[in-house]
Structure 1
């Protein structure tokens, strides 16, 4: 099939983009890298009357420190994130998740903002944002606002964005001492959407107890999820005494429902989900412990 006819608009910046969206109304849709929207257009699952292409909006690109966080522009490509030394140093969980997204051709075109705004429950970036407690910057003709990642994903492919709003960037907390990060997923083939995946961020206090834990889940619900019950269970405990399998079990027990489909039954997806959470937890804690030991040795 081919996409239905639509009007094409290419604004030069974010302000012009939201002005266009406001003027064109509910029949307009922004497009970033197009890796999700273009197939939907071709299948006529989406038929907007107008497309507002953000590729020329250079003010939506970049990676820089802002107010102690690492800010990444919404139109920054996944390939640029993958190759960024600043991301690898300051937000390693995001750097480690990026190579798992599709194939390099996808990452050359796909963007941070496109993935987050699409809100796919099986995508890596939303889970990473949840695990890290990222904050999203949103622009409309009414001005700018900030939305916590925990409040952004509202339903199946639905987000907190209004029709005349665009995501301009995301602020990720910079890694701190005694922290560890890991992302694990299981897919039938490399590059496929994961049947289940987990992004884990752990921070230890000087005594080796869990000061903070973030567990983002993907492929395990109708929206990107955070395993709040498992996080609460391990926070304040001695990390060395926590059994990874118990963390995985707690993460799955805290979910309302795990979906089943042609790729995996709900039961199978639950088993896989518990396993990837446990594996990611173990790796993240091992890294945090190593960081603590290195810090002590350097003191």
Structure 2
């Protein structure tokens, strides 16, 4: 019996949220717990910040205020976005039949052809979300302002926390990452959830450097002349050379490194994961997911996919962020 591919399906509100979650939260930064997620932001959410000064004073018999309280806030307001896509069903039917018969790499067989198609679309939306989280610009169609854009115009970022970047190689990556560690405020160093979020090219250079075969040019004691070239670390971690890395975790000077695929080359951000937020409305009435079969309407083999959802990012305390390679136009 032939596989039925009549796939007109509509999901709305909370039910659509299940598909939106699959699309958005599979972005690497979110699926690996790189930042905090606020899943039920219907319109906007206020991130409160409480500052106290001189909270502890010498004891006395009287009640006396011991601190000045300053309450400020930042607004997390996800943007409405959509996917409007038309595909030819025949391009997917053969793959779908292979899944149904067990001749594929799928471990969990999608129960319907519509789910199968939406799975493909969700993966693409997740890739786009990963890009927007770190490098997005709302001026570009289909993106929201990411952390790079927001930090580049925030006058509250201390100048000491803004590090100029250079082109990263395996020869200079350890020194440059060390600069980021040195710039992390003392109150944050050693904190749970502290990460240096790095671009892929920085991570690759660091892995290669720890393999032991990267080289650096040494200077003389006065620092005004190049005196030779030396290897970093001999044969690398555990003397395994470039074979040492098996996609495990990376650290430098006690600080965990998170590879943020959406960050542009030669850029990095250091802060705690509970200072970075991704907001979306998984149970919002604005959510909508449709797979519309056009066969009954125009006789074609086309299907249209419609998705509507919200997404956005925000940080809470800019003073607790160190940037590398991100030029702040407001300072």
* Fold in common (TM above 0.5): no
TM-score normalised by length of structure 1:
0.23
Q: Which has the larger radius of gyration?
A: 2
TM-score normalised by length of structure 2:
0.22
Q: Work out which structure has the larger RCO, using CA pairs closer than 8 Å and 6 or more positions apart in sequence.
A: 2
